[in-house]
Amino acid sequence: MLLKHDERMSFTNSMTTMPGASGTTPGIFAQRDAAELVYLTRNGQVESRHSGAAVVTGPDGGVLATVGPADAVVFGRSALKPLQAIASLRLGAPLESRHVAIAAGSHRGSSRHRALVREILAAADLDKSALQCPRAWPKDRRELLKMAARTRRPDGPRPNRLAFNCSGKHAAWLSACVAAGLETESYLEPDHPLQQEVLRVIEDYCGTEPVHIGVDGCGGPAPRLVLAGLARGFGRVASAPERAAQGLPIDDHAIQVAVSMLRHPWAVQGRNSSNTRIMRELGLLAKSGADGLLVVAAPDGTAVAVKTLDGASRANNLVALNLLARFAPDQVDLPALRKVLDAVTPTVLGRGQSVGRAELADPMLGVLSS
């Protein structure tokens, strides 16, 4: 669904400049500041619109383009997991490549995913009782059927913490605590040494200090940071292997995270989910976050961060991949990109047939044609 140049429309007054120059209040991401990113049509009529912000950062971390405010402050949610995995490795968590991938991922709770989490815990002489994330069911129906078939409980299977999408991150955090000699009971508290290390990693890679710490869905701290900083940090992780190959001084832990995610994309999300497909078929690093967040980065460090104000994620892949193709064309296989976009972009259905599609809105088209 990549647009050709002659299909792009003129751009009108939605592209902002660097923080402080857009006329918005820094840190306040309001509807009046957001730009329309994508709209969906049904039988030729617009049915819904998704507004938000998208920012592109280059290999040097500088902002290349924005749609909406680049200085919007957002909760990093699960898009921060690659950086949180770096913190675990810094503290000495003895993770193999597949374990690093699930620590940086938001998995679907399959039996393979749960087995990886058990391995991380077992290596630290822990079990699932040490996890403090919520309980959950596997995301896939056939996994639920497997659980039902294996259970010996008269009342059937129950949700468990291993199946929660953040359990890999939590297991890695616990592994880091054991390796560093830190207590594990309060590993989710913001003042725990582990969480302080997470904040240091975020500042090191994103070049910005979180402005607020909330509580994430998994129970851990949820830092809020500038969207451009999130893109910058993700780009630095993605480019670590390439920069190391050029002889530049690079944090080995960033290399480990980037290589592991690309080597085991199924562990990051699962099956044919969007993050997994983008990494497996395009060689781009991808990580989504709850409530409409997505970050995608090329091996050279060009990165795109997208946040939709309504929290919907269905617009994000279309936005991020088009922007990455525009600003890092030598990093993207365009035929493969079109194939992936067709697979991960929502189709509007009527009676089981396609009756509409997602379209890039004018502010996006303006940036793509600039």
Bridge partners (DSSP) listed for residue 295:
287, 305
- Could you tell me which of 220, 222, 218 has the C-alpha nearest to residue 230? 222
Q: Which three-class secondary structure string do you get for the chain?
A: CCCCHHHCCCCCCCECCCCCCCCCCCCCCCCCCCEEEEEEEECCEEEEEEEEEEEEECCCCCEEEEEECCCCEEECHHHHHHHHHHHHHHCCCCCCHHHHHHHCCCCCCCHHHHHHHHHHHHHCCCCHHHCCCCCECCCCHHHHHHHHHHCCCCCCCCCEHHHCCCHHHHHHHHHHHHHHCCCCCCCCCCCCHHHHHHHHHHHHHHCCCCCEEEECCCCCEEEEEEHHHHHHHHHHHHCHHHHHHCCCCCCHHHHHHHHHHHHCHHHHCCCCCHHHHHHHHHCCEEEEECCCEEEEECCCCCEEEEEECCCCCCCHHHHHHHHHHHHCHHHCCHHHHHHHHHHHCCEEEECCEEEEEEEECHHHHHHHCC
Give residue for tokens 């039988």.
43
What's the pLDDT at 324? 98
Q: Are 364 and 56 in contact (CB under 8 A)?
A: no
Cα distance between residue 70 and residue 79, in whole Å = 17
The confidence score (pLDDT) of residue 273 equals 95
* pLDDT at 156 (0 to 100): 63
pLDDT for res 153: 67
Query: So what's the pLDDT on residue 148?
Result: 72
Per-residue pLDDT of the chain (370 residues; tens, 9 = 90+): 444 433 332 222 233 333 333 334 445 688 888 999 999 999 999 999 999 999 999 999 999 999 999 999 999 999 999 999 999 999 999 999 999 999 999 999 999 999 999 999 999 999 999 999 999 999 887 777 777 777 766 666 789 999 999 999 999 999 999 999 999 999 999 999 999 999 999 999 999 999 999 999 999 999 999 999 999 999 999 999 999 999 998 999 999 999 999 999 999 999 889 999 999 999 999 999 999 999 999 999 999 999 999 999 998 999 999 999 999 999 999 999 999 999 999 899 999 999 999 999 999 999 999 9
Supply the pLDDT for residue 288: 98
Q: Render pLDDT for 205-226 as a digit per residue (tens, 0 to 9).
A: 999 999 999 999 999 999 999 9
Q: What is the pLDDT of residue 142?
A: 79
pLDDT at residue number 23: 38
pLDDT attached to residue 155: 64
Do residues 238 and 299 make contact, with C-beta atoms less than 8 angstroms apart?
yes
Q: Which pLDDT tens digit goes with each residue over 160-193? A: 999 999 999 999 999 999 999 999 999 999 999 9
